[in-house]
Amino acid sequence: MNLDRELAWLIVAVVVILVVASLVSRVLRRRAKTEGARATVENVISRTRAWWAMVAIFTFAILIGKTGTVILFGLLSFMALREFLTLTPTRPGDHRTLFWVFFIITPLHYWYLLDGWYGMFSIFIPVYAFLFVPMRSALAGDCERFLERTAKIQWGLLICVYCVSHAPGLLMLDLRDYGGQNAKLLFWFVIIVEISDVLQYVWGKTCGRRKIAPKVSPNKTWEGLVGGGLCTIVLGTSLCWVTPYSPLQAAGMSFIIVLTGFLGGLVMSAIKRDRGVKDWGHAIAGHGGVMDRLDSLCFAAPVVFHLTRYGFDSHALLQAF
Amino acid sequence: MISGFIAGSLRLATGATAWWRGCGPELRQRIYFANHTSNLDGPLLWASLPPVLREKTRMVAAHDYWSVGRLRPWLAQSVFRAVLIERKKPTAECNPLDVMLQAMGEDHSLIIFPEGGRQTSPDPQPFKAGLYHLARRRPDVELVPVWMENLSRILPKGEFLPAPLLGSLVFGEPIRLEEGETKPAFLDRARESVICLRQSSCA
């Protein structure tokens, strides 16, 4: 059990946000006049309902402890990779490679994380899996679009497994004056990543005008990014008491989360658009696939993990010299 | 109970979503016919039907495959209640058509794969005549085309271990044998109706 008073407050805060969101969306449903507005509100309602479930599952995993959280993120990686590779046209020659990727490489990587073997955790996928994937596919003997197929599998592994795993990786850091409290840092990180998405969506829907990249993602606007981003930074800073960061550092981290999360969402949208789909899958009602909720986290997690490790981890500081 | 559990596991393992495009999941006598690329096809189509329909739907499968070992005959008989037909050397005593007609009886639906075996080509092979004969003998039954997407990537022919990609099934608009329609024309039309359900074609 990880529950201390600060974590309890964080959970209460999230529940309050969800209650408010549920009430507001009910009120909006009564006010919606046009067809388009009604569709948007219905989507917001089903999204909020799914958020309740997601928050419940995540909180439960955090309360169980390290093992529960690592298993949860391992499953999320598995599901995200599944969506990613389903949209990636592989050939029969890749079949056994895919088996390895899903059932050997992904669990092993999460095992290294749970084991706290930092060195292996950081090089297993970028070095060993990177080399293994083309070797296994070459043995199958199909040369057609070989580099393209291999690169896509490697990319999927890096994004869906390697990058995502850096979020639970926050639990393994040995932070100065913060021993045994890492669950709160992970909780804070996930709240900020997801609230940044939500606030950018809300700001974009209500006062978004100027599109940032209409071809890639028509819903992303400057108003959404700046308005949602600023609100997120204020929230992230005001919650700095649960993190190892000072208020200024928390603001900086929130800024980095907003920026990397936004750009990550843009990258993943570009891939979806190229494949001609709107969502990664149908796993979460109202949201699309698992990857539709993890896209920002994929890009923010490694950056926040390493900044925190270099800046606040006692071992890393010693190793640096 | 066991069959419900197996159906649930099949849907979970293949991540399969069923899209009822051209018809709804209604309880009436039907023949579902689909493209065939994987051993999972029949069981998954069966598993994707709502329980009430599932109870009244039997998949038609090859006797030579499903009677080997211990697990397969048990699955075929007790779980899928498959209609096993002789596809290699049909004789007068075990004519596949009679077996299928008998299995349908008054209120059962069938799942058949008219290509006659699992294919590895991207497009379905020409259909065998069984579907035509069934349509001629039972003109009252709806023929529902089904496209099975990605199953060949989950468990391809000749592989034992699966890759957990996401599959999907699209149920199309029912067809019937038209008055005076010839066998080749009907089989062609039936095949087209399956191909049409694939996302990329016939937009």
Contact flag A102-B15 (C-beta cutoff 8 Å): no
Instruction: Return d(Cα A58, Cα A301) in angstroms, integer.
Output: 16
Task: Give the number of other Cβ atoms within 10 Å of residue B175's Cβ.
Answer: 19
pLDDT tens digits for A294-316? 999 999 999 999 999 998 877 76
pLDDT tens digits for A165-186? 999 999 999 988 888 899 999 9
Q: Which of B17, B150, B161 sits opposite A99 (nearest CB)?
A: B161
User: Which residues of chain B neighbour A91 with C-beta distances below 8 Å?
Assistant: none
Contact flag A82-B156 (C-beta cutoff 8 Å): no
Contact flag B163-A98 (C-beta cutoff 8 Å): yes
Task: Give the number of other Cβ atoms within 10 Å of residue A114's Cβ.
Answer: 18
Concatenated DSSP letters for A3-62? Answer: --HHHHHHHHHHHHHHHHHHHHHHHHHHH--SHHHHHHHHHHHHHHHHHHHHHHHHHHHH
User: Which residues of chain A neighbour B120 with C-beta distances below 8 Å?
Assistant: 92
What is the pLDDT of chain A when averaged over all its residues? Answer: 92
Tell me what ipTM this predicted complex has. 0.87
Q: With beta carbons less than 8 A apart as the criterion, state whether A106 and A78 touch.
A: yes
Query: What is the DSSP code (8-state) at residue A211?
Result: B
Predicted confidence at residue A203, as pLDDT, reads 94
Q: Which of B150, B159, B166 sits opposite A95 (nearest CB)?
A: B159
Chain A residue at shortest CA distance from B158: A92
Q: Which of A85, A95, A281 sits opposite B156 (nearest CB)?
A: A95
Q: What is the mean pLDDT of residues A124-153?
A: 96
pLDDT tens digits for B105-118? 889 999 999 998 88
Q: Which two tokens stand for residue A165?
A: 């795993």
